[in-house]
Structure 1
Amino acid sequence: MDVLSVIVMLALFLLLLAFIFSAGLMTPVIGSKNIIFVIFIGFIAGTIGGAFLISPVYDEIPEIARSIYLSTSGATETVTADVSTDTDIERLKEDLASQEGVVDVHSEGIVIKTDKFTEERKRIIEDKIAVIDSNITSWNVYTNGTIILQVKRGYNPVNALENLAKWLMYTGGINTRYSTVKLVVEVKPANVDAVVSYLEARDIVVTGVRGPSEDKVAELRRFLPAKSNIVLFCGVLGVITGLAGVFIDSIMGSFRKIYRKYRG
């Protein structure tokens, strides 16, 4: 929802409150016994306005706050993505590095899915990984065929994959079914959405965005009340507005007395 839509929604809700207030002003015409009717109209109209006018705006509050945080924050945000190893990882990193606002691009690890293997084979793989490729710094091996590797920063993780895949096939006949590289992009806050759109346009799965701005938005979401409470509040606000219209003369008279007392 854009800014104009938000303004229109709020303006319509204010007009609705003005209608409720007008209904309260009509009590001299419709009779003071019909105050219950004014309360009923105020609650129903306020609830409807809350559900159809305020709720859509309320849903946009986290995104509005996120835009403000991103435009004012100085710390970088981290975009993570899973990239198939069929992609030219090094070329992709170069392309990302050339995007406006990108501070750093590096691969954080690689997830490999192979045929299942035994506990004995698992121990052999764990013992030999460092020998297979000395650029692999840490690893987790599971008998269901999942192998997670971490490599030295700046090293092409696809090389580690190819070395390990060949060794698995030659020594145990284990096929590598698929693999993905976890790519990490450090981005200036104002350029996060552009980088995410760039990755998605290349059919790359963005797995998350984290950083100071995202943390603040998550904290804001935790503190925001439930939407149903907002709708109920709008209904109560409608009742109060209607009653204000009913008793406006008494209210204004009280203000005038207080003003005269203060002046005199």
Structure 2
Amino acid sequence: MDIITTIVYIVLFVIMMVFVFSIGMLRQYMPKREILLVLGVAFLIGAIGGAFFLDPIYDELPAVVSTVEKTIPNNEETLHLDLSSSIDTNQLRSTLSSMEGFKSFEEKSIIIPMWSFSEREHDYFDSIIGNIDSHYKEYEVTSNAINIELEDNYTSSQALKSFSDWYKLVYGETISYAQIKADLVVDSSKLDDFEQALLEKGIVATNIEGPIQDSLNNTNSSMLTNFEFTLFCGGIGVVVAIFGIYMDSIVPAYRRFRKFLRTKRKR
């Protein structure tokens, strides 16, 4: 939402509150039993105004907070990516590294889908994987997949090739697919540019960690629901109406209080 629209919405809500205040000031011309009706109308007007004018602005609050985080120097965001082995990670790295705000791109591990292992097959793979390639940092054999953590500067294509070569030697077949887990670290101020570049390649980060995401999560967790916010705006309308109803009493009391303070200072 642009600034002009935001200002217009706020002004319209203020105008509605001025109208509510004016209704409250008419209390002296109404029977006392009509006060509840005035308060009910004030609540309704406040709720409607909040739902139509303030709620869209309130929904933009997380985006505003994240924008502030983007302006802070040296903030970094880590995008966790799940990639297909059909993607040329070298080309992807080259494209991303040429963009302003790039920090690092690191392939962390590969997940090779297999069949449902029997207990014997599971034990066999668990005992042999570590001997296939010395660049396998860690590995885990699940019931139907093999997860291999890669050493630094060792690519997923190299790891997949070494495993595929061993698998072909033992089983006579080729493994050509794996899921790649990679981490992309970027400058927070350029996060949107990198998300767009990834989206153009059909890639969406599975998770993002960093100041921007933390601020989004914290803001979203502390915000009221749309229904609760609408009720809150209705409450504002009631408070404004009460000020209007008792304006004749509030103003003289305020003047007496100021006179008391001036008298006390003179003493």
Structure 1 residue 209 displacement after superposition: 1.0
Q: What's the counterpart of residue 182 of structure 1?
A: 181
Structure 1 residue 185 displacement after superposition: 1.0
Aligned to 1:193: 192
SS at match of 2:34: helix
1:130 corresponds in structure 2 to: 130
Distance apart, 1:28 and its partner CA: 4.1
**Counterparts of residues 13-28 of structure 1 (less than 5 Å):** 13-28=13-28
Describe the superposition over 1:166-210 as per-residue Cα deviations: whole angstroms up to 9, x where unpaired: 322442366647322112111111011111111011111311110
* Residue equivalent to 1:46: 46
The C-alpha deviation readout for 1:149-180, integer Å capped at 9, x for no partner, is 11111112112112212322442366647322
Where does the alignment leave 5 or more consecutive residues of structure 1 unmatched?
A: none
Secondary structure at the aligned position of 2:116 is classed as coil
Question: What residue is the counterpart of 1:245 in the other structure?
Answer: 244
Q: Give the equivalent residue in structure 1 for 2:143.
A: 143
User: Equivalent residue for 1:62?
Assistant: 62
Matched residue SS, 2:53: helix
Per the TM alignment, residue 73 of structure 1 is displaced from its structure 2 partner at its CA by 5.1
Q: Structure 2 unaligned segments of length 5 or more: list them.
A: none
Rounded to whole Å, the distance in 1 between the matches of 2:18 and 2:132 is 76
**More off after superposition, 230-239 vs 170-179:** 170-179
- Confirm or deny that 1:224 pairs with 2:234: no
Q: What TM-score, normalized by structure 2, do the two folds share?
A: 0.89
Q: Which moved more, 1:176-185 or 1:108-117?
A: 176-185
Q: State the distance in 2 between where 1:3 and 1:234 align.
A: 21
Q: Judging changes above 3 Å, is the alpha-carbon distance between structure 1 residues 205 and 112 closer, same or farther for their aligned structure 2 residues?
A: farther
Q: CA–CA distance in 2 between the matches of 1:174 and 1:43?
A: 72
Deviations 1:68-122 (CA, angstroms, capped at 9, x unpaired): 1122253311012112111111111111111110111111111221233322222
Cα contact 1:114–1:175 (8 A) shared by 2: no
What is aligned with 1:236? 235
Alpha-carbon spacing, 1:147–1:2, altered in 2? closer, same or farther (3 Å) = farther
**2:103 alignment partner in structure 1:** 103
The more displaced of 202-211 and 110-119 is: 110-119
Alignment CA distance shift 1:103-1:31 (3 Å): same
Over the aligned positions, Cα root-mean-square deviation in angstroms equals 2.1
Take 2:9 and 2:168, find their aligned partners in 1: how far apart are those partners?
A: 63
Paired residue total: 263
- CA–CA distance in structure 2, aligned partners of residues 37 and 259 of structure 1: 34
Structure 2 SS opposite 1:37 = helix
On the 8 A contact 1:85/1:180 being kept in 2, the answer is yes
**Identity %, equivalent residues:** 28
Which residue of the partner structure matches residue 201 of structure 2? Answer: 202
**Superposed, which structure 2 residues align to 1:69-80 within 5 Å?**
69-72=69-72, 74-80=74-80
Q: Distance in 1 between matches of 2:73 and 2:31?
A: 57
C-alpha separation between the residues in 2 aligned to 1:14 and 1:8?
Answer: 10
Moved more, 19-28 or 167-176: 167-176
Which residue of 1 is the match for residue 36 of structure 2? Answer: 36
Distance 1:191 1:158 in 2: 28
